[in-house]
Amino acid sequence: MPETTAALTLPSGVWYGEKCYRNVTIRSLCGEDELFWLELPDGWSLPQRVSALLERVVHWDGTPAGIDGLTVGDREALLLHLRRLSFGSRIECVLNCPQCREKLDLDLSANDLLLPPYSHPQAEYEAQLGDGYQGCFRLPTGADQAQIAALAQVDLEAAEQALIDRCLSAVSYHDQTLERLPETLNAALADQMAQLDPQAELSIQMDCPICSTAFETLLDMAQFLAAEIANHSRLLNREIHTLALYYHWSEAEILHLPMRRRQTYLRLLDESFGGGS
């Protein structure tokens, strides 16, 4: 049977006092989780929906830390593991070349996209931003994503500024305290954040086989996995009916099965009867 749980060390982790908690166990999605996802309020942003789902499937080792407090890179790592356990490691994507617009098939592996845990994660970092400017900051979290989600839909630049403001705890210029970092230095700070949390952005390098254009694209695991769960869950009622009919399991028993195990039984039925389920 496919692996259904995994113990892992998060890239950054959550700090409580002087201690960083990084060890968690994550389990595969089951039918109950699919129904939970489909029944979340329509007004919830994607970061809120992801937090609610991860709260169900992640178990902390040592502290009941909140998913919202995890860095973006930690959340991406958890989503990659959740994707691997629930659907398998292989990720099939279709991209459009930005030059010739040709559709390109891309096969990725969740295992290959996962980075090792960071060597020396910190609760806060100090940045030398040039020209005498210094900043003390933390890495963006799920709570930050949720807070700026609505603004990002209408004004991306304003949302990026709001994110910087949330993450900066102190700014100075030649040791003189400032209330805000000059906007011209936002990009420099964002670059340092990206370097400290490389798991946060899954960057894919591509060469178009048609026009030879080299380009870069980002894989947003939250959006990708959300679409997969939604598409897969449309068949859930039919799958419950099929398994109940042939195995005489209750709905609760079927919904409790890990997603890939449910698919295994459905494939066995398909092979036995020579038809679709």
Residues 6+ apart with CB under 8 A from 272: none
- Specify the pLDDT at position 275: 58
The pLDDT tens digits for 237-271 are 999 999 999 999 999 999 999 999 999 999 999 99
The pLDDT tens digits for 215-232 are 988 899 999 999 999 888
Query: How far is residue 147's CA from residue 68's CA, in Å, rounded to a whole number?
Result: 11
- Residue 70 has phi, psi (to 5 degrees) of -75, 145
Write down the domain spans for the chain. 5-117+203-231, 125-196, 237-273
- Specify the pLDDT at position 195: 95
Which residue numbers in the chain have pLDDT < 70? 1, 63-65, 275-277
Query: How far is residue 269's CA from residue 231's CA, in Å, rounded to a whole number?
Result: 22
- Specify the pLDDT at position 277: 44
Q: What percent of the chain has pLDDT over 70?
A: 97
The pLDDT tens digits for 146-156 are 999 999 999 99
Query: How far is residue 115's CA from residue 219's CA, in Å, rounded to a whole number?
Result: 15
The candidate with the shortest Cα–Cα distance to 187, out of 241, 117, 151, 133, is 133
